[in-house]
Structure 1
Amino acid sequence: MRSNETINRKVLFSLMAIFLVETFGWVSNLSVRLLLVQFGATESTKWFVMSYAGYLTQFSLALNGPILYATSTEYRTAFRKVFGFGQVNFPAFTIQVVPMNRSGKTIA
């Protein structure tokens, strides 16, 4: 059994990693917006540039899953169980479909 201090440290590390990545995404979005205003970009240019700058923010928000997978044993186990990473997904048994007539007898 791991000590509470070790568990707390791992949880804090995971949260800090998520926080820093998300903060980077939002700060980069804000920086682009401020630069556009500073350089006097037209409204259509602002819209166009911010449409693409938003992808960086969305990407940083989408990194929560991979960060948790990389930093947490519990999340890694759950991800593998749900998504089947590292497992062969063959059925454990064979299913046969046999044609039958209305009385329930097989048709040869």
Structure 2
Amino acid sequence: MGVNMMITVNVLIGFDRLLCVLFPSCMVVCSTIDCYSIEINELYYRNSVALNIAVLIIYCFVWLCIWRRSSRVHTTDEFLPSMQRDRRIFKTLTAIMSFVFFGWVINCLMRVVFSYVKIDSVTLWYVSSMGSALANITAASNAPLLYIFSQEYRKVFRSQFLSIRSKICDKYDRTEVTTVSRIPSDTVTDRRSR
């Protein structure tokens, strides 16, 4: 339902842009968020802040639980693999959370700063697009971070990459070699002689 509404809003924005291009009266920059009222925009902003802070608090509790468990457990050979695995998992999750959180915080700070600075709407659109691109890049960084920090994920990624590569290469590398023998000239008839 939400996706359909988003697509509908994008279609209406496209129709609005078409009308503005056909009948230009004043130049205005329009983005998807401009379709929402100021109240909805502020509600979305507050919810984003609350959710990002909640994620940060949850990861702090996870870190605290891992730290307390590792300080209580004696570092015997029996518990060492489990502790090392927990630390690797937490390091991976912390890197992912940090990337997403700081990418979002930079975007948020840009929004706050440029709400006080008086600049034209086109420059504001470019700046907000750069901030949004940064937030999207950090949100899409999960797979590379999992590949970098986790041996298990790295092994799975490599097997998937090899599988994809073999499927692509097999499609194009199927060359068949046949031997061609020379045909004796007395068995070949000349069409012109017929």
What letter matches 2:142 in structure 1? Answer: N
Identify the residue that residue 150 of structure 2 maps to in structure 1.
72
Correspondence for 1:15 = 93
Which residue in 2 is equivalent to 1:100?
Answer: none
Q: Name which of 141, 145, 153 aligns with 1:63.
A: 141
Q: Report what 2:127 is aligned to.
A: 49
**1:32 alignment partner in structure 2:** 110
1:105 match: none
Distance in 2 between the 1:95 and 1:52 partners? 47
Bigger helix fraction: 2
- Select which of 161, 164, 167 maps to 1:83: 161
In 2, the alpha carbon distance for the partners of 1:54 and 1:73 equals 31
| Runs of at least 5 residues in structure 2 that lack an aligned partner in the other structure | 1-77, 177-194
User: Structure 2-normalised TM-score?
Assistant: 0.42
Deviation at 1:62, TM superposition (A): 1.5
How many residues get paired? Answer: 94
**What TM-score results when the alignment is normalised by the length of structure 1?**
0.72
Unaligned runs of 5+ in 1: 97-108
The residue type paired with residue 68 of structure 1 is L
Which protein, 1 or 2, shows the higher relative CO under an 8 Å CA cutoff with sep ≥ 6? 1
Which amino acid is 1:49 matched to? V
Q: Deviations 1:2-23 (Å, cap 9, x if unpaired)?
A: 6211111110000001111111
SS across alignment from 2:92: helix
Q: Which 4+ runs in 1 deviate beyond 2 A?
A: 40-48, 88-91
Identity %: 29
- Structure 1 distance, partners of 2:159, 2:130, is 35
Following superposition, the deviation at residue 41 of structure 1 comes to: 3.5
Query: Displacement, 1:42?
Result: 4.4
